Amino acid sequence: MADELELIRLAIGEDHVEVALLDVTRLADTESTASRFLTALEHEEYARLRHPLRRREWLGARVCLKVMLMQQRRVGDPLHCAVVKDARGRPRLAFLPEAPAGVAYDCSLSHKGRFVCACVARAAGIKVGVDIEEVSSRLLRLAHAFANDRDVLIDSRSAEERLAILWTLKEACTKVVGRGLGMALRDVTCEEIAPGRHKVVTVDGVELRARHTVHDGYVVALCVGEDLRPER
């Protein structure tokens, strides 16, 4: 089944980070896909989801991640790894059961419209965050809540694309630092230092490396930082 699910590789990763998209419309039989890809604990969480679209997105993001790992030959079976959460609710990747106890790698998941997005670190001590947003007028009325005058994008773009870039960068930033909805996005500053490459800084002065790309009308952004105290 993994061979039938074609991932879209995005050239915004780094040496130790990979990012991919999956078109969820390719998940024709979600229940059989869930049985093939989800561990027992993941299946329990999946079963608690009631809305069909939410179930498809949740499942698709994990399928995207696990197909990526199998294609990297890091696992031979999707049931040999699981997406688990730390004390803050951030996802991370754990290898089961052959990996030594406590070995985990950071990962991040996102979804919007027909696409799900996943990224995974290939080394301990790296924190990642990914976000995807469709370029549309939706963010025009929300701009005051997340954009500020300190944000700098160097290329000429439409207002819709500019806001989608800033939104995804800042959302990805919150996933790295683990604050989620509790973090004021206007307090995050984005500076594009080269086409598609950014410096993202939080109000606390935490500086992250970031990249973005546009694929088929969707902006995907990745933020990366180092964790000085990797979780064991």
pLDDT tens column, 20-60: 999 998 888 899 999 999 999 999 999 999 999 999 999 99
Asked whether residue 142 falls in the same domain as residue 222, the answer is yes
Last residue of a domain, one of 101, 124, 147: 124
Bridge partners of 198?
A: 192, 210
For position 231, what pLDDT does the model report? 44
DSSP secondary structure of 56-114: HHHHHHHHHHHHHHHHTTS-SSGGGEEEEE-TTS-EEEEE-SSSPTT-EEEEEEEEETT
DSSP three-state, residue 23: strand
Final residue of a domain: which of 102, 124, 146? 124
**Domain assignment present for 231:** no
The pLDDT assigned to 192 comes to 97
What's 29's domain CATH number?
3.90.470.20
Among 90, 105, 124, the domain-final residue is 124
Nearest to 111 by CA among 61, 161, 159: 61
Per-residue model confidence as pLDDT tens digits over 111-125: 999 999 999 998 888
Q: What is the mean pLDDT of residues 50-73?
A: 93
| 3-state SS, residue 231 | coil
| 116 lies in the same domain as 26 | yes
Query: What is the share, in percent, of the chain residues with pLDDT greater than 70?
Result: 91
What is the pLDDT at residue 226?
Answer: 86
- Distance between CA atoms of 193 and 12, rounded to whole angstroms? 15
Range of the domain at 139: 129-226
pLDDT value for 232:
40
Are 140 and 220 members of one domain?
Answer: yes
Top pLDDT among 111 and 178 is at 111
Quick one: pLDDT band at residue 228, thresholds 50, 70, 90? very low
At residue 210, φ and ψ (nearest 5 deg) are -150, 155
Domain match, 106 and 137 both: no
- 213 domain-assigned: yes
- The answer to which of 69-83, 95-109, 178-192 has the lowest mean pLDDT is 95-109
For residue 232, tell me if it sits in a domain: no
Q: What is the pTM of this model?
A: 0.91
Q: Does residue 99 sit in the same domain as residue 212?
A: no
Number of domains present in the structure of the chain: 2
Q: What is the mean pLDDT of residues 144-162?
A: 94
Are 112 and 170 members of one domain? no
Backbone torsions φ then ψ of 195, nearest 5 degrees: -55, 115
Q: Is a pLDDT exceeding 70 seen at residue 230?
A: no
- Whether residues 137 and 50 share a domain: the answer is no
Structure tokens given for 25: 């419309």
Residues 144 and 188 in one domain: yes
Q: Which residues of 41-62 are buried (b: 16+ CB within 10 A; e: fewer)?
A: ebeeebeeeeeeeebbbbbbbb
Which residues have C-beta within 8 Å of that of residue 101, sequence separation ≥ 6?
none
Number of CB atoms found within 10 A of residue 121's CB = 23
pLDDT average, residue stretch 171-186: 82
- Work out the mean pLDDT of the chain and round it to a whole number: 89
Distances (CA, A) of 89 to 92, 176, 178, 193, 201: 9, 12, 8, 31, 22
Per-residue pLDDT band at 72 (split at 50, 70, 90): confident
Q: What does 124-144 look like in DSSP terms, one character per residue? A: TTEEEEEEEEE-SGGGGGGHH
Residue 80 shares a structural domain with residue 116? yes
pLDDT of residue 178: 80
Query: Same domain for 136 and 207?
Result: yes
Residues whose CB falls within 8 Å of the CB of residue 65, separated by 6 or more in sequence, listed in order:
83, 93, 107, 109, 118, 120
Output the pLDDT for position 92.
86
